[in-house]
Each structure stands twice: as structure tokens, then as C-alpha cells.
Structure 1
Amino acid sequence: MFDTFNTKGLAGRSATSLYTRRRLLATAAGFAAVSMLPAAGALANVKSLAKHRVLIVGAGVGGATAARYLKMWQPDADVTIIERNPVFIRHYGSSEHLTGAVSMADLTVSYEGLRAHGVKIVQGVAQALDPVRKEVAATVNGSVQKFGYDSLLVSPGVELLYDKIEGYSAQVANSTIPSGWIAGVQTEILRRQLLAMPDGGTVVLVAPPNPYRCPPGPYERSALMTEWLGHYKPRSRVVIVDPKNDFVTDETMILGWNHLYGFTPPQPYYDKLEKFMVEPKADCRLEWIRQKDGGKPLSIDPATRTVTAEGGKIKADVLNIVPPMRAANVARAFGLTNDSGFCPIDRRTFESTKIPDVYVLGDASIADAMPKSGYSANTQAKVCVRALIGKVTQTGIPEPAWSNTCYALAGDDWGLFVADTFRIVDGKIARTNTRARYQDLSASREERMVASRYLRAWMRSITADAFG
């Protein structure tokens, strides 16, 4: 609650059956985006892209997947990536670093796998786009260099809008009140603060408004911190201050909170979940303050780590803010964004509607019902690459299909997910699920454990698929 304002036996299928069902569904969904594509050999046999220069800005999951699949399907293609960082640090799974479950080394991915496929990687910062000359200017080793292209793929991720919350800034985030939503130095700062916090302290996580990267992520992070504190600082608590009233995977996540931490679901969740719940605990150390309960954040005081929300004030010992987001700065510098802050695209190809021969992938794109996630970026990249090859070689562009699965943890061995498939319906990317999206509320404890293991297997799998 606010410091100055008060608001007021499971049945299931066997773990084996869940694993089999999820594996089949995830496999079908995961490869829906490429099931309508020709085999790699067939694409290699069409008109060659050997003289076609493909330049990619950004080597996150979207950019890396695009580069790798271009070289797999068109080995002679000339593929260059401009990426500011020497390595990729996984955002997905990074909240487990806060609890010590994984190290920063575990989150770090080399680009050597892409280089082994023949992808040229330039460490530099893309600055400007000349769409007439088809050139990108980038700062490399302190000097500006120009890179020509025939097709340009932009996959820059998101920019965190720190200053959208009064009192917050990039300087504050990099020193005393980290976000850590782009994994790296801030993730390490937050980890150190949790370790240093006295038992009985309060961790406050300020959740973001929609749209944002990794929809279940803030609630997973809150759960993992609650679990860790229960082991090492059991008198401490975690409070989520939220500008929203719901979130993706909310029912299954809240049920996990109830079983693991004694959380009392607010209405209308309580009525929906009651028959699957355990008895809530009066001393539950996890609290979720929704927008309707006064949770919309208004400002922070960095000096006292105090959050002012619509319902009142709450003082934190550790304050973690996930601010609003928009497409990363380079997308705006290139002229690819609209008033939403994100990039409009041709939904069949992910080609920009603002500049021809420029494609936008992943979190920066406006992809309608598709969430902003690594899984989405991975399937978008495959469909985009196939469309690019079809356009250049005049072999046709197949009707696209995409998939996404967002995995999350309510605890170290309590996994959950949302799985979707997508096609274009009435001109928009829409969900076309033929199965339930979410984990069954009646799933057994063993099934939740299997889901947590599947999550970790997926992280290894998608990393290998994107980066080689």
C-alpha cells in the first residue's frame, strides 16, 4: 500500500502431456513463419543476391535473425550489420540476474556465430540515412563512414523515455535508480542494490504503460525479486506501482503469486481464480497497485527514492522504474517513425511505408496485435527476409504468417506462457489462434515446473537460431 494513502488440491494433466502439447504447439507456432517458405536450398537456387547489398542496422534478435537467414537462404548475399555494441546482452531472461540465478556472462552472446556465416559486422553508431543515395552514415572508430545498400533492414529496438516520469532521467537511471529494461550496466546496479538492501526494506517497481517490450516482464521481475527476498531478506516486500489495470498473462501470473507468496488477487481476478487458489496470506510480501487503485505514477524524488502516484506516495529502499518506450533514436533519425513513436510498415513484408527498400523489424515496428518480444522479432525477420528475396528475385512474396510465445516465471520453477499465431486479417496483423492462448489455470504443480524448464530451453534455442 501507499505510505500516505490506503486502498483497499489442483487437477491437471500429467507433466509429460503438458510438455508434449506445448512442444508440439510451440513447434508449430515457432515455424509457422517459415512453413510457407521454400527450403534453404530452393531459395539458394533462385536468382542470386550476390550483387545485392543488404545493410542491417541493429544486431539484436531481429537483426541477427535476418542476417543469419539471409546467408542461409542466399549464401552469396552481401550482408553487413552496423551494431554499436561489441556483444549482445540478452534482455530476455535478464531478470534472473537480479536473483543471482544467471551471471552477466550467461546473458552475453558473441557475434562470432554470425561472422562464421559470412556476415560482416561493423561496430559503430548509425547516425543518418540518405534514401536517395541509399547510404547510411555511421560513426566508426571516431570517424564518420558511409555504407551503401540496395536493401536496408532496421532493427534498433526501443528507447526508454526516462523523462516521461517527472524527476527521472537517463543520468538518474545510470546512477541511483536503474531501469535495467535494456540489459547491461543498469541490471548490475539493480542487483547490487538488492544485495545491499537491509532486511525489512521495500522494493518498488514502477511498471510501464502500453506498448512496451516484453509484456509479462515487469510482473515476472517482481515475482522473482519477491521469491529471492523471501529466502534472504524475509521481512522485505515488493510493491508494483502500475499505470494499467491488467497485463498479458495476468491470470496465470497472479495465480502463481498466490501459490508461491500468498497473494490475494484483486477483483475481478479473485472470482475467476478462486477455485484454483490456495489460502491467501495476510502478511503477503508482494503488492500490486493498479491504475484504478491509484497506481498511475506521476513523479519520483530520486534523493529519497519516493514515488508519487495518483493514490499517494510510497518510499522505496530500492526503486526500479520501467519507463514508457518508443522506437530507438536511430529510427527517428532515419525518418521512419510516425506520431506514435514507432514505425509504420507494410504488413506483408515489414517494408517501411515511409521510405522504399527500407524494412523495420522487431520492437520498433507497428505490428498491430503482435507484442514487442524477441520471439516476435525472430519470426518477423524470417518473413521479412523471404519477402525481400521474393521482391529482389521477382519470385513472388508468399502470404505471411507469424507466431509469438511470451514465456515468464512466477518463481524459479513456476513457468507460464502465452502462445499466439498471426496472419493478416482485414488489413491488420491479427491473432488467428486455434488453441487456447494461455497455460491452463488447472495445470498441476509439476506442469508449472515443466513450463519453467521449457522457458529456459526456449531461451537457448532462440539465441542459437538468431546468433548461430
Structure 2
Amino acid sequence: MRLNRRLFLSTAAVGAATLGAPALLAEATGKPRVVVIGGGAGGATAARYIAKDSKGAVDVTLIEPSRAYFTCFFSNLYIGGFKEIDDLGHTYGTLAAKYGINVVHDWAVDVDRDARTVSLASGASLPYDKLILSPGIDFIDGAVEGWSLASQNAMPHAYKGGSQAELLRAQVAAMPEGGTFAMVAPPNPFRCPPGPYERISMVAHMLKDANPTAKIIIADPKPKFSKMTLFQEGWLTHYPGMIDWIGADFGGGNVSVDPSAMTITIDGETTGVDACNVIPAMKAGRIAEMAGVMDGNWAPVNAAGMSSKADPDIHVLGDAADQGDMPKSGFAANSQAKVCANAVRGALTGSRVFPAKFTNTCWSLIAADDGVKVGATYEATDEKIAKVDGFISAPGESPDLRKATYQESEGWYAGIVADMFS
């Protein structure tokens, strides 16, 4: 993973700010204690809002192993050549220095719900009054025959931010003239429903100029996908004849791969490939399982404050949560984090708790200045986060509108990372 000078200096600041964290944590402050596991769109946002709005009344610790966080959202634009990897990297210095958050770069390896403690790989044990889990995703073992995490260098998943995206981009760039790129798309539910198809668009954009006779194959276990009409319209317009989508009705769910031979077998037909992106079925990050808050592959929550249905003192955000109608996205995690922060702060300090409202928008780039979006607003019910209304880009929109949609997404990215980290 490469870091530019700006990221290095910011990372060093975080290290300096957290050198004293174990000693600080060992001291009894008398304040209620919140521990947040996971420093992404859900966790970083929740930690910042609790610390900021409680004005020092709550002791907040953020546990995140990575000193530099690379967003998974917008990583497709890096693969397509619209971003550099350092554009996606962010550090935790401001959270520590400005808001007094104890930023601990370590792995959370266990949760004792009876004792209300979190164990770290370093051997430390952190007490909590409220625990917020925002661990993102892990992959289901055996979800794609022939693929495992041991195969991720040969056939990257690139569905967690950082080095995997760099690897996939390099493999696409190294494809021979007229070569074949393949993707194994995931089954529902999964992180970022339009994500695999935006990625196909970005790979096609990359190949269109550098390797125009290359072919792209998508093996998809689903009969349809998010923004399907918009993506297929865009592929026909910008990349005619390059992309072959094989859905469930045509054997797209009957797939195996051989990373050593670089082949993919779809419904019994084996094809040699030059680069292959395998995105397996997903589940909540492992710490949710260790905490005992999962039911199946995800962690059910109460919509009003994102508290776990297994434990009212644990809250689960973002991709890991089974919450109802919201998609698993960075925008959704950020929205849920603000609701959670308000509920946690209210429970610990007696401050006002506002009714829960949620929003989400997912933008996708199909080609240069050709952006589309889908989104909705949501409310908390007794059963779930429920969709209230929604919108989606229309086929055949004008180039000016599509360009404006893409520019809107750029503004959103700048806004959400500021909301997370500054």
C-alpha cells in the first residue's frame, strides 16, 4: 500500500496522539465509555458525532487496525483511471487531536458481553458502557467453488478498500491484446448493490482505449441487478460488443474458478481468462460473530437506534447490520451512524433523542461524465428501517444531466469524508 507524504504525516500524528492511549484507558475517568470497532463510514462517523456533540462528557475509543483508511466507495473510479489511490486515503489525526477520541490501531479479537469488555490482539482489555460495531464485511467460505482468501492475489475480490483495488487495476492493465476479463458477481445481499456493475463499466472504460479488442464476461447468480437498465444502456452506448452478462437464467449461478490455471467455468463451459475479479457471497465482519449478535450471516438491529436485537448495549452499523430496506453502502452507514450516535449519547447523558430518519443515495459512473444514481428516504418502524420513497435516474437522460449527476457524486464524496474524519 503506497502512502503519499500528506498521508504519512497525518498517520504519524495519529500515532503520536495514541501513544498514551493504554495508560489513559487504564485510568478511571468517571465518564460513560463508548467503544467503537471499525473506522469506516459507520464507525468513524459515530465516534466523531458522539465525541463532538457530548462535548467531552463521554469517553470515546475508536478501534481500527489500519492507520490509513482507504474508502471502498469510489475505488471503482480508481480502477477506471478517474482517481489515484491516494485520493481515497484518509487518516484519523483530526479525530484524535480535535475531538479527543482515543484512536487505537489494533485488532479487536473478542467481546465479553457479560463483563462488557473488548479484547485486543495486543492483550489489552477495554471496558465499555456502549459498544458500537461497524466492522464491514467478511466473505463466506466456499461461496465460489475453487476460490478462497488464499486465491485473492491471483483473482482479487477488491471489495475492501486499498491494496486489492491496486492489484486488480494492475492486472487489468497487464492483460494481453484481445484478452478476457471475468467477474464473478455476488448473490444478494451484498455491499454496494450497483458496485460490481460500476466496476465493469470502469474496467471497460480502461480497456476501451488501451485494449479495445478485449472481452468482459460477468457470471451473475442473480436474474437482475441494481440499475440494470441504466448500466446495460450505458454499456451498449459506450462499450458495444465488449461486455457479456450471463445471469441466473443462463447459468450465471453455476460457477467455479481455477486460480492456478486462470480459468472460469460457467454452467459447464470453461474459459481461460487473463484477469478475474471474484466477489464472493458476504457476511458481517467477524467481530459481530464473536460478540454473539449475528443471526445467520448478519446482525439484526432495532431501527430506532441501531441497537442489537441480542444486546441493547451493543449497536451495529452499516454493512454488518440486518436492518430492513436500506442497501449496504457507505452513505447508508454514515446515515445510520448519526442516528446511532444520537441514541447512544441520549442514553448515556440524558440529552434529547430525535426521531430516527435515514437517507441513502448510490451514484455510479458508467463512462466519462456519464453518472447515474438511485436513492431513497427511510424511517424507523417497530420491525425495520422502512423505505418511504425513492428515485432513480431515467434511461435516455441528456449528457448535461448525466454530467451533473457525476459532479454531484464528487461533492458527496468530499462531504462524507469530511463528515467522517474532520
Q: Structure 1 residue aligned with 2:133, among 154, 162, 165? A: 154
Q: Structure 2 residue aligned with 1:441, among 380, 395, 398? A: 395
Q: Provide Cα deviations, 1:85-127, integer angstroms capped at 9, x if missing partner.
A: 1111110011122233222211111111211221110011101
Distance verdict in 2 for CA 1:297–1:97, change over 3 Å: farther
CA root-mean-square deviation? 1.6
CA–CA separation in structure 1 for the residues paired with 2:52 and 2:231: 38
Q: Which amino acid aligns with 1:414?
A: D
Partner of 2:385: 429
Q: Provide Cα deviations, 1:165-223, integer angstroms capped at 9, x if missing partner.
A: 111111111x2111111122222221111121111000001100011111100000001
Q: Return the offset for 1:442.
A: 3.7
Q: Return the offset for 1:441.
A: 2.2
After superposition, residues 306-317 of structure 1 pair within 5 angstroms as 306-310=263-267, 312-317=269-274
Q: Return the offset for 1:375.
A: 0.3
Partner of 1:24: none
Partner of 1:231: 209
CA–CA separation in structure 2 for the residues paired with 1:210 and 1:155: 20
CA–CA separation in structure 1 for the residues paired with 2:328 and 2:268: 29
Partner of 2:341: 385
Note if contact 1:203-1:318 (Cα within 8 Å) is conserved in structure 2: yes
Structure index of larger Rg: 1
CA–CA separation in structure 2 for the residues paired with 1:444 and 1:139: 53
Note if contact 1:294-1:312 (Cα within 8 Å) is conserved in structure 2: no
Q: Does 1:111 align with 2:92?
A: yes
SS at structure 2 position matched to 1:345: strand
After superposition, residues 110-189 of structure 1 pair within 5 angstroms as 110-115=91-96, 116-140=98-122, 144-161=123-140, 163-173=142-152, 175-189=153-167
CA–CA separation in structure 2 for the residues paired with 1:322 and 1:150: 36
SS at structure 2 position matched to 1:288: strand
Q: Structure 2 residue aligned with 1:98, among 79, 83, 102? A: 79
CA–CA separation in structure 1 for the residues paired with 2:183 and 2:301: 33
Note if contact 2:219-2:255 (Cα within 8 Å) is conserved in structure 1: no
How many residue pairs match? The answer is 392
Q: Structure 1 residue aligned with 2:359, among 389, 393, 403? A: 403
Q: Provide Cα deviations, 1:251-306, integer angstroms capped at 9, x if missing partner.
A: 222222222123xxxxxxxxxxxxxxxxxxxxx11111111111114311112221
Note if contact 1:295-1:311 (Cα within 8 Å) is conserved in structure 2: no
CA–CA separation in structure 2 for the residues paired with 1:246 and 1:86: 38
Note if contact 1:50-1:78 (Cα within 8 Å) is conserved in structure 2: no
CA–CA separation in structure 2 for the residues paired with 1:125 and 1:350: 23
Partner of 2:418: 464
CA–CA separation in structure 2 for the residues paired with 1:317 and 1:392: 55
Distance verdict in 2 for CA 1:237–1:50, change over 3 Å: farther
Q: Structure 2 residue aligned with 1:245, among 223, 235, 249? A: 223
Q: Structure 1 residue aligned with 2:404, among 423, 430, 450? A: 450
Q: Provide Cα deviations, 1:5-44, integer angstroms capped at 9, x if missing partner.
A: xxxxxxxxxxxxxxxxxxxxxxxxxxxxxxxxxxxxxxxx
CA–CA separation in structure 2 for the residues paired with 1:348 and 1:162: 32
Partner of 1:300: 257
Partner of 1:57: 37
Q: Structure 2 residue aligned with 1:419, among 365, 375, 379? A: 375
CA–CA separation in structure 2 for the residues paired with 1:248 and 1:113: 36
Partner of 1:71: 51
Q: Provide Cα deviations, 1:353-404, integer angstroms capped at 9, x if missing partner.
A: 1123111111000011100000000010000111112222345543311010
4+ residue segments displaced more than 6 Å: none
Q: Which amino acid aligns with 2:40?
A: G
SS at structure 1 position matched to 2:131: strand
Q: Return the offset for 1:458.
A: 1.1
Q: Which amino acid aligns with 1:187?
A: A
Percentage of matched positions with identical amino acids: 35
Q: Which amino acid aligns with 1:107?
A: L
Q: Which amino acid aligns with 2:101?
A: V
Unaligned 5+ segments in structure 1 are 1-48, 263-283
Note if contact 1:380-1:402 (Cα within 8 Å) is conserved in structure 2: yes
Q: Which amino acid aligns with 1:129?
A: V
Partner of 1:219: 197
CA–CA separation in structure 1 for the residues paired with 2:55 and 2:382: 36
SS at structure 2 position matched to 1:402: strand
TM-score normalised according to structure 2 size: 0.89
Note if contact 1:165-1:297 (Cα within 8 Å) is conserved in structure 2: no
CA–CA separation in structure 2 for the residues paired with 1:162 and 1:109: 30
CA–CA separation in structure 1 for the residues paired with 2:388 and 2:104: 39
Partner of 1:200: 178
Partner of 2:6: none
Q: Structure 2 residue aligned with 1:286, among 239, 243, 261? A: 243
CA–CA separation in structure 2 for the residues paired with 1:297 and 1:103: 35
CA–CA separation in structure 2 for the residues paired with 1:249 and 1:336: 32
Distance verdict in 2 for CA 1:89–1:297, change over 3 Å: farther
CA–CA separation in structure 2 for the residues paired with 1:134 and 1:424: 27
TM-score normalised according to structure 1 size: 0.81
Partner of 1:334: 291
SS at structure 1 position matched to 2:109: strand
Which structure has the higher relative contact order (CA within 8 Å, separation 6+)? 1
